[in-house]
Chain A
């Protein structure tokens, strides 16, 4: 029986969080549909020259064309594929790394945990964007490298969150109970610890997707993305190098990919927020 309830107003009420989560969910679904059905939705092939360069929006090219005469709307639609792929795959990499390190560091807090958490601290301390740029430049420009670089850099935060949950779980009596029964650590981790960190991990995963999408856009904008892929960041890169930021063309060349990046990142962030409101342990 709960005698005292939380006073309202201190935190956003679950209702608000839920609504925001629904908004985020709608945004994500729209983007996913766009990415999946890109060939059907896009009026042209984004890699083909389909018109004169530097065209303003018209009936044939709703968002105009770029410097080589490719359709910007088609580029935008196909860009969702790269952004979402990089975002989700990089987040999965981060999730696997972060959960493994977090669970191990939390379950064996003494020696292994100390070493692991020190490496996590190092990664968290490193200047983030410069490191990302250096790594990406060093490894070369390809989709896989972008994913690896982002994934390897963003797991540290989630691993701390998961570690603290595991630290609390490992001393729960039901984990102790399984040890008194003679269960190996593997059993306790797989049967009792992992299932109860899964929800938390999902929350951090969704947030990681949001971060990864932003980072991918940043890398591509700096020209460090895969040159063969059309992503929102690379559209911006070309817009920047062709001076579109300073001409009226920014309205159809710069603004739309910017908005798409924002929608994608915000959509995942809102869903993560709503999830965390429900699943984060009450402290």
Chain B
């Protein structure tokens, strides 16, 4: 039943285990609520060696965060009940009095959380917050502490640290705030740093910077790092060892190389397979793991993954499998059939979908955007008259019938504003949007049926007090389509078409998982019978294993109904499988626009290259792109840089050209548009004309 007693951990395999920095044995955490008990962690054994980077990977609800919060003594009990053993540096942490735990927390164990905004106190200067962390644990003078705070800020890569030390958290960008959080965590030279999804709230380009920073710091300081993440890609570069969790148990554990390249658990192979990436062969459909992770409300008696596993046999339900040796270097798998896991391609074949007479992409434009500008005036005290955040600053785009346009860029690049303008939530400041040749009209009425939207967070986009049937029927009721009976039968059809049983139409949104809710949101968007759906980051709030399902569903819907999609995303990997054309946005403008394959095979704009390079590949040995990572943050969109807006971060910017001349978005190749001075045109637009001003070298 339980894993203690059995030698789940093979001491011969990892010599590090003898003097492990952190040793967890049979950790179990249960939460008791008035209605039920949730078994969050169900017997976790774990050792982290000194100076090791240990990655704990799992989907939401896998128990990874709760396990580490237990280490920090941050799980409030009751309602939680924590049992087992957690030893750190030879000391038992579980059951330690609050006062002693406080002394360890922050001094010996540092922690970095996901959201740097809510972890920093907005009313104190960052320097003071770092000094506080130092002076809580060490008797040093204020001056001394301040000096150390400046050193720390400098070390985590904050430019002109001695000046920035007196700034408030809101004066830092998200990435910089996360650096401050790391500085606080490192304030007392902890021997263990626990990082709980430290990059999830950040942009891909910033994520890369933070990963590199932690790797460097770890090497310099020799501390252990536990990196909790839901994304196998992020940690591939830096992890020494990886443990994959599911249903509150460790499914597989081993060196990063072994886990990524020689995975022996079906769940790991499935995860590795369903991660959208930019460096593998393109397939028609994304491989997906069926089903959704469930909350465990009873004492587990079976393999937690058995319901979704293609290898399930009757013995998988007859007991909880424990970790057993599956390879060299302490590679362990908790799968009874780990010898037959083999290659992920075989285990998770791509399910071909038969779509009777699919609608093929055409060249007919559905939406034409011409010179669109959306500015939000700044009314803040002290702001210049007429100052405005130029969220969208001059965009021309065409969305064609039955095609998908992927819009990609960092947060703040205006991609969401663009999407919101198309659905009438935001009024354009300048330029125009033509829908079927008619100017966009944001007043209510039947013409609004044409463009619908899917939001990032399916839960908050549904009224929690409405039943699913009413939620899906809402667009039809707004536009007065059909009788109540018609609408009900249409709702049932729609739910069935997105893979939700129509029998659950009477339930409320909270009774569904994230992936199911997003399916319901898709059904709702389809209910209006639109021609275009704007999808604003529709999968980024979902679990990795569910993302592929939703991407496939959207594509299937498109082929079946001939709908056009605008797929907004912050990284290039997600949009790859679904887009026909891709537009890369930077500071309110499109910097590159091209058919999909052209972008991935040969990105032209330096920003596109940087975005591609920032997509983490889920493999520790993958060839890292040679393109330099992006430095710094997105400039202030109310005061964009002169010349080429990207020149402040561009690795190849040419002084005297890029910082003074504004590059135009011009066609450089068949169907390819780039706005960069340094990209040479391969086609002669009008052969005898002189070279365009400022282009070429």
Interface positions of A (Cβ within 8 A of B)? 1-5, 172-174, 176-185, 187, 191-192, 195-196
Contact stretch, chosen from B139-147, B226-234, B447-455: B447-455
Who on chain A is nearest to B478 by CB? A183
Q: Which residues of A contact B465 (CB under 8 A)?
A: 195-196
For the complex, what is the distance from the CA of A5 to the CA of B61, rounded to whole Å?
19
- Indicate if B38 sits at the interface (CB-CB under 8 A): yes
* CB-based contact B33/A2 at 8 Å: yes
Give Cα distance in the complex from A240 to B31, angstroms. Answer: 63
Q: A3-B69, A3-B75, A4-B76 are contacts. A182–B461 as well, Cβ < 8 Å?
A: no
Question: Is the pair A5, B76 in contact by a Cβ cutoff of 8 Å?
Answer: yes
Contact A179 B424 (CB under 8 A): yes
Task: State the majority secondary structure of interface residues on A.
Answer: helix
Could you write out 24 A-B pairs with CB less than 8 Å apart? A1-B38, A1-B40, A1-B295, A2-B31, A3-B31, A172-B460, A173-B455, A173-B460, A174-B460, A176-B425, A176-B455, A177-B524, A178-B478, A181-B452, A181-B475, A182-B444, A182-B445, A182-B448, A182-B449, A183-B444, A183-B474, A183-B478, A185-B444, A196-B465
Given contacts A4-B76, A184-B444, contact A177 B453 (CB under 8 A): yes
A202 CB to nearest B CB, Å:
15
Chain A residue at minimal CB-CB distance from B459: A173
Q: Given known contacts A5-B76, A196-B465, is B455 in contact with A182 (CB within 8 Å)? A: no
Apart from A181-B479, A182-B528, what are 18 other A-B pairs with CB-CB below 8 Å?
A1-B61, A3-B31, A3-B66, A3-B75, A5-B79, A173-B455, A173-B457, A173-B461, A174-B462, A177-B524, A180-B424, A180-B452, A182-B424, A182-B445, A182-B446, A184-B444, A187-B444, A187-B478
B370 to chain A, nearest CB (A): 22
Q: Is B453 in contact with A180, judged by CB distance below 8 angstroms?
A: yes
Chain B: minimal CB distance from A130 (Å) = 37
* A7 shortest CB reach to chain B, Å: 9
Determine if A174 and B445 form an interchain contact, defined as CB atoms under 8 angstroms apart. no
- A177 is contacted by which of B445, B447, B455 (Cβ under 8 Å)? B455
Which chain B residues border A1 with CB–CB below 8 Å? Answer: 31, 38, 40, 61, 295
Whether a CB of chain A sits under 8 angstroms from the CB of B463 is yes
- Minimum Cβ distance to chain B for residue A177 (Å): 5
| A-B residue pairs, 8 tightest by C-beta | A182-B448, A184-B444, A180-B423, A173-B461, A180-B453, A181-B475, A173-B460, A183-B478
Give, as a whole number of angstroms, the nearest-CB distance from A44 to chain B.
52
Which A residues lie within 8 Å of B33 (CB)? 2
* Interface-central residue, B78, B449, B478, B524, by most chain A CB under 10 Å: B478
Q: How many residues of B contact A (CB 8 A)?
A: 40
Known: A2-B33, A3-B69. Is A181-B478 also a contact (CB below 8 A)? yes
Closest to A176 in B: B425
Contact at B463–A174, with CB atoms within 8 Å? yes
Q: B458 CB to closest chain A CB, in angstroms?
A: 9
A182, B425: Cβ atoms under 8 Å? Answer: no
B-side contacts of A184, CB under 8 Å: 444
Residues of B within 8 A of A179 (CB): 424-425
Chain B residues, Cβ within 8 Å of A182: 424, 444-449, 475, 478-479, 528
**When chains A and B are docked, how far (Å) is the Cα of A187 from the Cα of B475?**
11
In the complex, A5→B77 CA distance in Å?
9
**Residues on the A chain within 8 Å of B445, using CB:** 182
Distance (whole angstroms) from the CB of A196 to the closest CB of chain B: 7
Q: Could you say which residues of chain A place their CB within 8 Å of the CB of B40?
A: 1
Chain B residues near A181 (CB-CB < 8 A): 448, 452, 474-475, 478-479, 528
A184, closest chain B residue (CB): B444
Q: Residues of B contacting A196 with CB < 8 Å? A: 463, 465
Within the complex, the shortest CB–CB distance from A82 to chain B, in Å, comes to: 38
Give the residue name and chain of the A residue nearest to B60 (CB): A1
- Which residues of chain B come closer than 8 Å to A172, judged between CB atoms? 460
Closest to B470 in A: A191
The reply to whether A192 and B479 form a contact with Cβ atoms under 8 Å apart is no
CB distance from A14 to the nearest CB of B (A): 12
Most buried by A among B40, B76, B462, B463: B463
Q: Quote the shortest CB–CB distance from B579 to chain A (angstroms).
A: 21
| B-chain residues with CB within 8 Å of residue A2 when the two chains form the complex | 31, 33, 79
| A178 & B76 in contact (Cβ 8 Å cutoff) | no
**Taking the nearest CB of chain A, how far is it from the CB of B55, in angstroms?**
22
CA distance A184 to B453 in the complex (A): 16
Q: How far is the CB of A172 from chain B (nearest CB, A)?
A: 7
- Which has the most chain B C-beta neighbours within 10 Å: A173, A177, A178? A177
Q: Cβ of A185: which chain B residues have Cβ within 8 Å of it?
A: 444
Contacts of A5 on B, CB cut-off 8 Å? Answer: 76, 78-79
Inter-chain contact A192/B463, CB cutoff 8 Å: yes
Our pick among B78, B446, B451, B474 for the contact of A178 (Cβ within 8 Å) is B474
Q: A203 to B638, alpha carbons, bound, how many Å?
A: 44
Chain A nearest CB, measured from B668 CB (Å): 35
Specify which chain B residues have a CB less than 8 angstroms from the CB of A173 in the assembled complex.
455, 457, 460-461
What's the nearest-Cβ distance from chain A to residue B176, in Å? Answer: 27
Closest residue to A185 on the B side, CB-wise?
A: B444
Nearest CB in chain B to that of A196: its residue: B465
Q: A156 to chain B: closest CB distance in Å?
A: 27
**Cβ of B478: which chain A residues have Cβ within 8 Å of it?**
178, 181-183, 187
Which A residues are in CB contact (< 8 Å) with B449? 182
A191 CA to B463 CA, complexed, in Å: 9
Residues of A within 8 Å of B462, CB to CB, are 174, 177
Q: For residue B38, which residues in chain A have a CB less than 8 angstroms away from its CB?
A: 1
List, in ascending order, chain A residues with CB within 8 A of B31's CB.
1-3
Closest residue to A4 on the B side, CB-wise? B76
Residues of B near A178 (CB, < 8 A) are 474, 478
> In the complex the two chains form, what is the Cα distance from A160 to B567 in whole Å?
40
Question: Whole-angstrom distance from the CB of B158 to the nearest CB of chain A?
Answer: 31
Instruction: State the CA gap A4–B31 with chains docked (Å).
Output: 11
Contacts of B457 in A (CB 8 A): 173
Residue contact A176 to B461, C-beta cutoff 8 Å: yes
Chain A residues with Cβ below 8 Å from B455 are 173, 176-177
